[in-house]
A = this chain, B = another copy of it.
Amino acid sequence: MTRKVTIRDLAEAAGVSVTTVSQILNGKGERFSLDTRRRVHQLQEELGYVPDFNARNLIMKSAQTIGVLVPNLGNPFFSMFIRGVQEASREQHFIPLIFGANHDEKLESYYVEELIKRAVDGLIIASASITAEAIDNILKKNGIPYLLIDQNGGPSLDRIRIDDERGGQLAAEHLLSLGHRKIAVVMPEHPTDNLVIRLAGFKERLAESGVMLPDSAVVISPMTKLGGYQATAGVMTQKPTAVFAINDETALGLMRGLHEQGLNVPTDISVMGYDDIDLDEYVVPKLSSIRQPVVTMGQQATTLLINRIQDQRQAAQLVDLPVELRQRESTGPVK
């Protein structure tokens, strides 16, 4: 490979100064004669000149880059989220740096630090393990704008708010309408804000109909397929007619567990998920769920963040996103 072509080479070849080249190539070259502009562009093609990324960033103080931290890339919910992020990033000529932290606090800290070192312009954090305060601390100190997902009450300036309370209510209404009165819930040990709110909405709506959800009916288990599977025993001791799994992954694991125990969904027990991942349509029985507009969430989060990056002093932005019930086959009338 030959040495890299620099702006200097190009300037020399075109018989102009580096200033001229730089200006023209950056769309600020109206002041130059058409002839010069054409010549520069043509020679760029010929020589295959590509501005050096690092040199440019050094001056510009921005690499047009955002960091994105999700708990688990394997969860379709987050891969959909990422998809939204990538779409919006592309439109704005940003590049997302994506990391799955696998629910590991050490890893999260490592990535956040690494991203700061690498001078990302902003951060989207959809990860539960680090506390919001710790994040706020380190990022604010570094002057890096950020957005927290799944932390409706967090300290970040801009917010994208999903109506989790309504989501919980919808789930409750649906189960109530099918006649369920004895209901269990599967939740993780350290729920993020949105999950707490989700559960609150659920309980609240239940209570309105005179159905109490005792603490004992809330089975604690990790938010993964395995976690759902492992929660099976805990759920069964409650002998509920319906279970509300806090997300679809968990629901999928739980359904497998119930199946192994010889229970039929939904005739013996109804299962309600949350997130509306694409898999819901394929499993047997199809999983009833609450839909979150997750691709939109990714897009909006990205847009909000980039807006913030481009104008740090603008007013706080707020986006509200709706949820809706997706009734499928895993929920049915109580016997």
Q: Which residues of A contact B (CB under 8 A)?
A: 1, 48, 50, 52-55, 57-58, 63, 73-74, 76, 79-80, 82-83, 86, 90, 95, 97-100, 102, 110, 114, 116-119, 141-143, 225, 229, 252-253, 255-256, 259, 278-279, 281-284
Contacts and interface: CB of A to CB of B under 8 A. Distances in A.
A317 B253 CA distance: 40
A303 B79 CA distance: 25
B52 A58 contact: yes
7 contacts: A54-B55, A54-B58, A74-B83, A83-B100, A95-B118, A252-B282, A279-B279
Contacts of A229: 282
Contacts of A76: 74
Contacts of A281: 256
Given A73-B83, A80-B74, A95-B97, A116 B50 contact: yes
Given A74-B80, A97-B97, A252-B279, 11 more contacts: A50-B117, A53-B117, A53-B119, A55-B58, A79-B79, A82-B100, A90-B110, A95-B97, A225-B278, A225-B282, A256-B283
A119 B52 contact: yes
A105 to B, nearest CB: 15
Contacts of A50: 116-117
A267 to B, nearest CB: 15
A99 B114 CA distance: 19
A143 B50 CA distance: 14
Contacts of A63: 53-54, 118
Contacts of A119: 52-54
Nearest to A1: B143
A55 B119 CA distance: 11
Contact of A256 (B53, B82, B102, B282): B282
Nearest to A55: B58
B53 A278 contact: no
A26 to B, nearest CB: 14
Contacts of A256: 281-284
Residue among A53, A83, A252 with the highest chain B CB neighbour number at 10 A: A53
Contacts of A97: 95, 97
Contacts of A48: 141
Contacts of A55: 54, 58
Nearest to A229: B282
A62 to B, nearest CB: 9
- Across chains A and B, which 7 residue pairs bring their CB atoms closest together, nearest first? A1-B143, A54-B57, A54-B58, A73-B79, A74-B79, A256-B282, A53-B119
A282 B257 CA distance: 9
Contact of A82 (B73, B252, B253, B283): B73
A236 to B, nearest CB: 18
Contacts of A52: 58, 119
A58 B281 CA distance: 50
A278 B117 contact: no
B86 A114 contact: no
